[in-house]
Each structure stands twice: as C-alpha cells, then as structure tokens.
Structure 1
C-alpha cells in the first residue's frame, strides 16, 4: 500500500462482474485471491465480498455487464462509484478502460439514447496508467494494446460514476489467466492507493479520434490528462450542447478543458463556442 494513503479515507467502490462473462468472472476470481475478503449480501447479487484493505465490495451478478442498470438498487449506500470488470469484443487484443453512454439516437447495447453515464476522471486515469504498467510488468504489452475507448454502450442511467475495465477482443483472450491477473492486479493496485490524488494536468472532455483514441490515450499516459467522456469521430454528427453539458456536468472532477483531435470545422466551431460560453480551455490534444 502507498504510505501516503495511510490514514486517508478512501471512497467505497462497488466492483461488479458478470457470472456470464469469462473475462469478468476470471478477473474477479484473481481479485479475490489478492487480499482477505468477508462475505456479504447485496440485492440481486449471486455472491458478494467486502475488503477493508481496498475499501470495496466485489459482487457477481447473473446479467451481462451492459445490462447493469440495476446497480444503484444493488449498491450499498456508501459506495461512491462502480468499477465493472468486463470482456471487450472486436478489434485486436486489447486491455481497455472506458465510460458508458450513447451519444446519439442509437442504444444497441443497453442504456438510453442521448444519455451519458456519470464519470470520475481520476479513477479512469489511475486505472489506465496502472493497466499499462501492469501489462509491461507481466509481459503483455507487446501482445495487447492498452487503450482508452470512446464512450459507448450501456448502462447509462446510473446515478454514481461508472467505469468499465476490459479484456479483449475475442474468446481466446477472455479466458486467458494472465489477462485476468493483469486486470485484477490493476484494480487492486489502484484501490490500494491514494487514487483520488491522481495527477490531472487537465480534466477534459475529448472530441474526435477513433473508437480506440490513441491521441487521448497518449494524453493520459504522457501528459497526465484525465478525461470525462470521449466522443469518437463516428458520433460527431450527433454532438450538441446537451451532450457536452452531460459530459461536463456529470463528472466527479471539475472539467476545465475540451481537447480535440482532428475534427471537422463545424464541430470545432461548436466546441470553441461552448468552451467560451462556459469558461473552458479548448485546444488540440
């Protein structure tokens, strides 16, 4: 444990996983082996454990992770945020971190259209930075890309910050014990630390880049940026002031910037106008 974290009260976190998901379930099993857990009970949970060391609940549910819209009802009242352990589908082998939300009219994988989840930029940044370190330590970095993902899928309606940490991108990777260990070690290491003091040179909304936004990922790793929602180039046609309001106002940490990759002129004008109206720095990543 980080000596600086001793004596500080860490936020209570609910770590949620799916019994239907081999990546989710496998990482949860490795996390249970990391420290001492006491059994508990939570509504809807098939199993539940609590650890004083990481100040977290670990609960398994018989639903897919994109269907976890019931977490507010299941969660202990003292929990301040949710970390969801999950598989990731599509693309090359990846270790990813992202927020949920449907920035547009489609809601193909849970949640509501035009709705974004609450975010905690320092928590996401701590998870991504640590995931990369752990992947390097465990010899996975040459095989797996460690990356943010742009905001996508459900759940969207929860009232507490929600971040997904994932293993992708196929069944071959979902069942790998070394990937499970990397995810578990990442979550354990972050929650054992003073992660609420994670360095954020900027707290930003991200605009542009691909679904796996390399520029924003480098911003977190190299420039110590922290992000609320990231809107990929594939959803820019839907970006409006309401979505920007959600991305700014649903952040646990105060957003001070909008950082963009290469984006169309019309979107650039929209975000510059929005930033000027709300006193936000607007610039390239």
Structure 2
C-alpha cells in the first residue's frame, strides 16, 4: 500500500512544499498515469502533481489504484489556507461537509452529509508541525492550528489537508514550504524509518471532536497536551 501526497501547480502553497519535499533524497520518477499528471516515488510514498483544483479531485485514490494497481492507504493534500484575519498560519484538518443538508450545495466540493475517513496522523502531525515550526523559527510569526472539516474532495481513504495560510504573501514563503516538507519527511518516516502517527490498531486512544468553531481551539488544546490520535472536529 502507498501514501499519496497530492499537490497542484496552480497553488503556491501546494507546489512550494511539494518542490521542497522533492528536493530531499531518494526520489525517482513514479508510475505513468493518465490525465496529464506527474508522479514521483520514494519508498511507499507517491507524490502526485497536477494543474487542477484540489477540492475538485474526487476519488483520486480510486483513480490512482485503477491507473497503477497500487492501493492507497492514505491521502495528504497540500494546499493554501485563507482566513479573514490574514494571519500567517500552518494548519492541518480532516475533510468533509457533514453539517450540510442533502438539498444544500457544498461551496468547496464534497457531498452534503459526507465526511472522509480521517487520517489518524492529524493529532501527531499537529504536534510535529509545532515542533518543526519552532525549530525553523516560524513561531511566533506563524500560528500552528487545527481546523474543522469544511470542504472536499470526495475520497474513500483516510485523508487530511496540510496548509499554509493565510494570504498570497505567505503562501509562497520558502521557509513555510520547507517546514511543511520537513513535516512530510519526518512524519512519513522518510528521514529515519520512524513514521509519526501511523495507525496500528493496537488500542491507541482516539479523540472524536464535535463542535468548537472552525478552529476548534479546545480540541487543539487537548490534542497538544495528550498523546492521542485525533479523528475529527466539526463545528455545529
């Protein structure tokens, strides 16, 4: 099984971290795939680059398996983050729009009432991101935060978004891109073989968060204090 990391060339906060990730050792050209996409391989990690909107890339895990024969165990999307505060930020979050009624139209992909399987790395990677950002000198300028579910695309595989926010000035910041690349490098075990947040199913404690607003500050406080896997936050 493979981990699929997805980036789009149309988003500087997506392609920047992808380029920094690819600059690390061990990469080779990935399997040929259709649809004008480019792929790279490093161990069990596959980096996929395309030029379309990430939130419109429904069923990318199933399409990858059909094209390559490789089963996807999880998806990590790289993307920009926007906020009315315009504050620089690094964020992680699950995806889905479970709060919408069937007659409502999702503004940013997904399906009303649907939520993706949540990538269990979210809690551990939030803590890893806090450490990497501090080590790289991004704190306190950048806020490190957790978001609730709020958009698509549709997937059938445990999924998470890793983002840089919150304006164009920060989306293209090389130091922020390098920090995200380091989170990927360390978190997926490419640095030393010790991945962070891998789900083993051996009784690990799991936190299911409901409510708390878009940034779910109480959930984030608990995740920061406890060595738990974090499955979902959804504002209600």
Q: For residue 119 of structure 1, what is the aligned residue in structure 2? A: 118
Q: For residue 28 of structure 2, what is the aligned residue in structure 1? A: 38
Tell whether 2:53 aligns with 1:61: no
CA distance in structure 1 between the partners assigned to 2:226 and 2:36 by the alignment: 39
> Are the equivalent residues in 1 in contact too, given 2:147–2:215 (CA < 8 A)?
yes
Q: Which SS does the other structure have where 1:179 is aligned? A: helix
Higher helix fraction (1 or 2): 1
Residue among 218, 223, 226 paired with 2:226 = 223
Poorly superposed stretches of 4+, deviation over 4 Å: 197-201
> Are the equivalent residues in 2 in contact too, given 1:97–1:148 (CA < 8 A)?
yes
For residue 47 of structure 1, report the CA deviation from its aligned partner: 1.2
Q: For residue 7 of structure 1, what is the aligned residue in structure 2? A: none
CA distance in structure 2 between the partners assigned to 1:44 and 1:185 by the alignment: 29
Tell whether 2:40 aligns with 1:49: yes
For residue 64 of structure 1, report the CA deviation from its aligned partner: 1.2
For residue 74 of structure 1, report the CA deviation from its aligned partner: 3.2
Q: For residue 246 of structure 1, what is the aligned residue in structure 2? A: none
CA distance in structure 2 between the partners assigned to 1:200 and 1:167 by the alignment: 32
Residue among 115, 133, 143 paired with 1:135 = 133
CA distance in structure 2 between the partners assigned to 1:27 and 1:151 by the alignment: 22
Q: Which has the higher contact order (CA 8 A, sep 6+)?
A: 2
- If you compute each CA radius of gyration, which structure gives the higher value, 1 or 2? 1
For residue 42 of structure 1, report the CA deviation from its aligned partner: 2.6
CA distance in structure 2 between the partners assigned to 1:180 and 1:99 by the alignment: 20
> Are the equivalent residues in 1 in contact too, given 2:124–2:227 (CA < 8 A)?
no
CA distance in structure 2 between the partners assigned to 1:182 and 1:35 by the alignment: 16
Residue among 70, 91, 97 paired with 2:92 = 97
The 1:81–1:43 alpha-carbon spacing in structure 2 relative to 1, beyond 3 Å, is: farther
Q: Deviations 1:151-202 (Å, cap 9, x if unpaired)? A: 11111x3111111000000101101000000001101110012332689863
Q: For residue 152 of structure 2, what is the aligned residue in structure 1? A: 154
For residue 46 of structure 1, report the CA deviation from its aligned partner: 2.3
Tell whether 2:80 aligns with 1:87: yes
Tell whether 2:185 aligns with 1:188: yes
Q: For residue 19 of structure 1, what is the aligned residue in structure 2? A: 9
Q: For residue 208 of structure 2, what is the aligned residue in structure 1? A: 205
Moved more, 74-83 or 132-141: 74-83
Residue among 172, 180, 189 paired with 2:169 = 172
Superposed CA RMSD: 1.9
Q: Deviations 1:198-255 (Å, cap 9, x if unpaired)? A: 89863121022121112111211211232212112xxx2xxxxxxxxxxxxxxxxxxx
Q: Which SS does the other structure have where 1:15 is aligned? A: strand
CA distance in structure 1 between the partners assigned to 2:152 and 2:4 by the alignment: 17
Moved more, 39-48 or 164-173: 39-48
Q: Which SS does the other structure have where 1:86 is aligned? A: strand
For residue 49 of structure 1, report the CA deviation from its aligned partner: 0.3
Q: Which runs of 5+ in 1 are unaligned?
A: 1-10, 237-285
Moved more, 208-217 or 136-145: 208-217
Q: How many residues align?
A: 219
